[in-house]
Structure 1
Amino acid sequence: MKKLIKTSLLIIGSLLCLQASWLPTKAWLSQQLINYSWHQTLALQQRIKPWPWADTYPIAELSFKRLAKSLVILNGGDPTTLAFSAGAIAPFNQVSRAQPFVVAGHRDSHFSFLNEVDMKDIISLTDRYGQSQLYQVEAINIVDASTGQMPLLADDSSLILITCYPFNNSSSNSNERYVITAKLL
């Protein structure tokens, strides 16, 4: 009887450990697949999904040299995409000199480091063709999204990064947005 109890407890403990490690393992694996698909996108010059059933694909990479951070940007701003990385929001999801490139991400995961970005920081944006452009941070604003008054998007080649604010607030219903605007150098 004692042997059955020990075996049962060992099995239950093992199953609990497997369940607890599932989400971190899935998060790690998804980042590896996203990075691999980004490198394949650059090498093959075509859209490569991170996994066959993905609704998105990588379209750019942001690098923050001073912070030693880089992040692959996925196409789209829907919740499924934002669960895996920051996403470029249509119709502002094309690197262009005629319109801004707008990227949104979660404050508690992929964009958690945005509060460390300073004025005049340089951000490198690499598009899916491997061409890099440098941007310099020129404005950091906190705006109330509930008013519908987000910063005016000019017809230029700026880079705009958006996340929820404040960073240390775990409440999911924040109406404030942290908006970084960087100009093409």
Structure 2
Amino acid sequence: MLRVFTVLFIVTGLGAIGYGGYQLLKTELSVQNNLEEAKEVISQKQASKKPTEKDIQSFSPQEGDVVGILFIPRIGIETPIVEGTDPDELEKGVGHFATSAYPRQNDQVVLSGHRDTVFRKMKDIEIGDIITVKLPHGDFSYKIAHTQVVGADDRTIIKSTAPNEELLLTTCYPFNFVGNAPDRFVVTAYPINE
């Protein structure tokens, strides 16, 4: 009887590991496909015409749309930005918090991603690193000012900062936690005047 229980336990464990590996591979492939789509969308739009201020202020994509690329060169992150932060969107890349602004809309821009997929390297981020948000109407760079850890349910960090623009990146914390993490790691960055 003990032998049957042991075999059953091992088979169940291997099944769980296999399913986890499948999910990770599926997400990686989705992110890569959406990154290619984002590159195509950006290059087509940027080549077509110079955006007006009205284009920038009215930029408001539909939920699930691939809208751009988040690029953090020092730690090697280049991932698509998808409108929305539901699980379906977060499987495609970094999610844009729907009620937040986009670059040059003079308010808080909030992007969230999973710590075990697109933000896996976020633990290596440093104050002063440059973050670039690439959209169809231009590339927008930010410099990291500070990081903090807040509770998983703390929504006070997501707020209007109008007329001042700031970029917030959020992910689950601790980075090596198994399961639903109790906290969030938050990166705050400010626009670089060009």
TM-score by length of 1: 0.74
Corresponding position of 1:179: 186
Matches within 5 A, 1:60-75: 60-75=68-83
Q: Which residue of 2 aligns with 1:159?
A: 167
Q: Hey, what's the Cα distance between the residues in 1 that align with 2:23 and 2:184?
A: 27
Identical positions, percent: 24
Change (3 A) 1:25 1:64: closer
1:140 counterpart (137, 144, 147): 147
Residue 103 of structure 1 aligns with which residue? 111
Tell me the TM-score normalized by structure 2: 0.71
Q: Is the 8 A contact 2:111 2:170 kept in 1?
A: yes
- Residue among 148, 153, 157 paired with 1:150: 157
CA distance in structure 2 between the aligned counterparts of 1:181 and 1:25, rounded to whole angstroms: 30
Query: How many residue pairs end up in the alignment?
Result: 159
Structure 1 residue aligned with 2:93 = 85
Query: Contact 1:75 / 1:93 at 8 angstroms: preserved in 2?
Result: no
Residue of structure 2 equivalent to 1:5: none
Partner of 1:32: 32
Larger Cα-atom Rg: 1
Q: Deviation per CA, 1:13-60, whole angstroms, max 9, x where unpaired?
A: xxx9xx9786566444423321221122123329xxxxxxxx612212
Distance of 1:78 and 1:106 partners within structure 2: 11
Q: Secondary structure at the match of 2:119?
A: coil
Contact 2:68-2:133 at 8 Å conserved across structures: yes
Farther off after superposition, 64-73 or 158-167: 64-73
The worse-fitting range, judged by mean Cα deviation, of 175-184 and 152-161 is 152-161
Distance 1:89 1:65 in 2: 23
Are residues 28 and 169 of structure 1, via their aligned partners in 2, closer, same or farther at CA, if it must alter by over 3 Å?
A: closer
Deviation of the 1:97 alpha carbon: 3.9
Q: How big is the shift at 1:144?
A: 1.3
The whole-number CA distance in structure 2 between the counterparts of 1:142 and 1:56 is 28
Identify unmatched segments of 5+ residues in structure 2.
1-14, 47-62
Q: 1:147 to 1:42 in 2, by over 3 A?
A: closer
Gap regions ≥5 residues in structure 1: 1-15, 47-54
Deviation at 1:159, TM superposition (A): 0.9
1:7 alignment partner in structure 2: none
Which letter maps to 2:88?
T
- RMSD of aligned residue pairs (Cα, Å): 2.6
Aligned to 1:41: 41
Query: Counterparts in 2 of 1:117-132, with a 5 A limit?
Result: 117-129=125-137, 131-132=138-139
